[in-house]
Amino acid sequence: MAAAVGEEEFDVIVVGAGIMGSCSAYEAAKRGRRVLLLEQFDLLHHRGSSHGESRTIRATYPEPYYLPMVLESFNLWQQAEAEAGYSVLSPAASQLDFGPAGDSSLRLAVDNCQAAAIPVRVLRDPAEVSALFSGAFSLPSGWIAVLTDIAGVIKPTKAVSMFQSLAARRGAVLRDRAQVSDIRRKTPATHHGGGGGALIRVSTADGRSFLGRKCVVTAGAWMKKLVQAVAGRVLPISPLHTTICYWKIREGHEKDFSQEGGFPTFASYGDPYIYGTPSMEFPGLVKIALHGGYACDPDERNWVTEVGLLEKTVVPWIKELLPGKIEGDKPVMTQSCMYSMTPDGDFVIDFLGGELGEDVVIAGGFSGHGFKMGPLVGRILVDLALDGAAAGVDLRHFRLDRFDVNPRGNPKEFDDQVGSHAPPGQ
């Protein structure tokens, strides 16, 4: 069958212009390929996971396989910034992880840093932690803190925009308001595994269609819906509505929470798992948020902030661990976002398989910690699409078939960190 009139042809079609899709489009364009990036909403919209003011980059992971990925990502962020001529990542003085001394994920994070020769300092005396950070933190007795210097804050909307601009500069075509509704073969694969000149037709809900030799699907919280519609395959990826909170710093303490004052990016382990960044984007405010949310349909969100949940988790946490420094009864600003959770919290990066074989690569389920890896994920996805394998990275833990072996995915030696709560009102 001939191509429909006006059906443009590309080497790589990327579906979804969040951080993963934008990095993939850039990477494929950098390799001289004809690239199309399709986004269902406006570019840089706020309905997915890659918008807003800050994402942290850190090397403290309880799973060892993420450490080399963080290190490579750090380099790739810097390379892209050099090409763009501006920065999106501000190094932080340090990453501070803390929690009960017996917390297994904290212990594993230390072990993994040590095994990877990443300098790590374990502080067992809460008074020492308090002294290091201008008295900001007051850790309960029996808690330890872990200090590492691979730490930074990335500006997400600016970073996505940077990769889109770099991709466009290298010739990629960006189309927004283009909701992909179907992905199927136009011509059959000529040998097992696809390739051999086979073409994929990517169609949009408003009746347009495009042809690609390869397709990369990075649809964030819509992955499950899109892949089910296109391939009938049900991915174990659950969207969670989550809320970022900004709190007012009490007058006179602003410097203690600033980047210049040495305030770290931080994570407080256990239940609740709380994280935060230095005061940067809104002077006088500091971001302190709960790592969790409630299940949602990405197309039917109610945008409700879980006030009751915050009162039970973040408010008492602030009163105990940052006493006297924050006006901690309620946040002064909130922003909504979505996590795409897998049962094990690990990414999904794989070929789609089935009819579409290795000509369609999928990536999703970034489980609230994927942003920092965006440039690397882009590199991996383009390696998989163009070469059939990703160089120098072990993707075993990200394969889809892990859920065939065990519906909970990769076995973990620690409890889940991301909590899923009942929606407000239930």
The contact set with ligand FAD (CB under 6 A) reads 15-21, 38-41, 48-50, 55-56, 179-180, 218-222, 226, 242, 244, 337-339, 364, 366, 368-372
Could you tell me if 35 and 172 are in contact, meaning their C-beta atoms sit under 8 angstroms apart? yes
User: To which H or E segment does residue 130 belong?
Assistant: helix 126-132
Could you tell me if 214 and 361 are in contact, meaning their C-beta atoms sit under 8 angstroms apart? yes
User: To which H or E segment does residue 318 belong?
Assistant: helix 314-321
Identity of the residue numbered 61: Y
Tokens of 327: 């006006």
Q: What share of the chain is helix, strand, coil (3-state, %, to 5)?
A: 30, 25, 45
The burial of 48, by beta-carbon neighbours within 10 Å (0-12 exposed, 13-18 middle, 19 or more buried), is given as buried
Cβ 293 to ligand FAD shortest distance, Å: 8
Which one, 133 or 163, has the nearer CB to ligand FAD?
163
User: To which H or E segment does residue 315 belong?
Assistant: helix 314-321
Tokens of 76: 């790739």
Cβ 184 to ligand FAD shortest distance, Å: 14
Which one, 128 or 299, has the nearer CB to ligand FAD?
299
Q: Which residue is nearest to ligand FAD (CB)?
A: 18
Which one, 87 or 130, has the nearer CB to ligand FAD?
87
Radius of gyration of the chain (CA): 22
Which one, 174 or 189, has the nearer CB to ligand FAD?
174
Can you tell me the distance from the alpha carbon of 34 to that of 28, in angstroms, rounded to the nearest whole number?
8
Sequence-distant (6+) residues with CB within 8 A of 387 are none
Which one, 43 or 135, has the nearer CB to ligand FAD?
43
Could you tell me if 237 and 364 are in contact, meaning their C-beta atoms sit under 8 angstroms apart? yes
Which one, 163 or 257, has the nearer CB to ligand FAD?
163
Can you tell me the distance from the alpha carbon of 278 to that of 257, in angstroms, rounded to the nearest whole number?
6
Give the Å distances, CA to CA, from 111 to 120, 122, 270.
Answer: 9, 11, 18
Q: Both ends of the chain: CA-CA distance in Å?
A: 53
Q: Can you name the residues that pair with 132 across neighbouring β-strands?
A: none
b/e burial code for range 286-324 (CB count within 10 A of at least 16 → b) = bbbbbbbbbebebeeeeeebbeebbeebbbebbeebbee
Angle, in degrees to the nearest 10, between helices 374-387 and 156-169: 40
Which one, 106 or 338, has the nearer CB to ligand FAD?
338
Which one, 189 or 211, has the nearer CB to ligand FAD?
211
Tokens of 291: 């790592």
Beta strands 265-268 and 326-327, pairing class: unpaired
Which one, 199 or 338, has the nearer CB to ligand FAD?
338
Which one, 17 or 310, has the nearer CB to ligand FAD?
17
Which one, 219 or 400, has the nearer CB to ligand FAD?
219
Cβ 23 to ligand FAD shortest distance, Å: 8
